[in-house]
Amino acid sequence: MIKLGLDIGSRNTKIVLFDATNSSISHYAWQSTDISARSSALALIDSAFRINQLKAHDVSAIGVTGYGRKLMQDMGTAFSEISCHAVGCHFLFPGLRTIIDVGGQDSKLITLNEFGKVVDFAMNDKCAAGTGRFLEMTALRLGCEVSQLSALAAEAAQDLILNSTCVVFAESEIISLMASSTSAFDIAKAVHHSVVKRIQAQMAGLDWTAPVCFTGGVAQNSDLAYCLGNALGHDLLIPPEPEITGALGAAILAR
């Protein structure tokens, strides 16, 4: 029995095909979300069907989450992002108790009980600080790809502090540091520490405990994950493909 999950995010749209019989992921993929989020989702579905030689009747249920979930309600059931990330991460790490999900435009913190049920959550969707957008801005200023920030930061010779918690003002700080010949290594590390501080500030309002799962596209940044784990005093659980946990949860929840 194959179930399909979609996570239509502001930056990327993700798909997961979940084999409910074997409780395993049989396919996953993602692409940038187009101006038409629905078109992005349909393109991923078409590709998944073609690659796996499936027809519509081969899929028993479809679940959709993300900011664009209401665009696909005619095809499947819409679920909240909190529920989907909780279910997806708990499937991968049954013992976890806290989830830190950092995407392109927002961040979500979720606490679970021993049975994997959501206890509490906090969400930042109003400010780009502490999200992938901050890293994208940094990479643009440093003239590199976002994927290169981790390697840059790992070579930092000193720990600098960005005083601004707002991305707009932090960008001005970065420009000033560049003007004073501060290395790209040190700037990248400072940005990572700034993102970590923002996440910690969000977590202060939650009664969280370890084990902690770090997921979302930003979790692919190994240096930021290292800094976050150090700051929290715990090793982080990171999914092999951290970007797809929301889509995985949507597929598992689909009925």
| Interval 54-69: pLDDT, tens | 999 999 999 999 999 9
The residue-averaged pLDDT of 190-207 equals 93
Distance CA 63, CA 41 (A): 12
pLDDT band at 124 (very low <50, low <70, confident <90, very high): confident
What pLDDT score was predicted for residue 126?
Answer: 66
CATH topology of domain 1-93+241-255: Nucleotidyltransferase; domain 5 (3.30.420)
13 versus 11: the higher-pLDDT residue is 13
Distance CA 139, CA 244 (A): 23
Distance CA 44, CA 5 (A): 11
128 in Cβ contact with 134 (< 8 Å): yes
Residue 143 above 70 pLDDT? yes
241 versus 167: the higher-pLDDT residue is 241
Read off the pTM.
0.94
Dihedral over alpha carbons 65, 15, 109, 10 (to 10 degrees):
-70
* Start-end of CATH 3.30.420.40 domains in the chain: 1-93+241-255, 95-238
In terms of CATH, what superfamily is 95-238? Answer: ATPase, nucleotide binding domain (3.30.420.40)
The residue-averaged pLDDT of 131-160 equals 94
pLDDT band at 219 (very low <50, low <70, confident <90, very high): very high
Give every CB contact of residue 46 below 8 A, 6+ residues apart in sequence.
none
What pLDDT score was predicted for residue 167?
Answer: 78
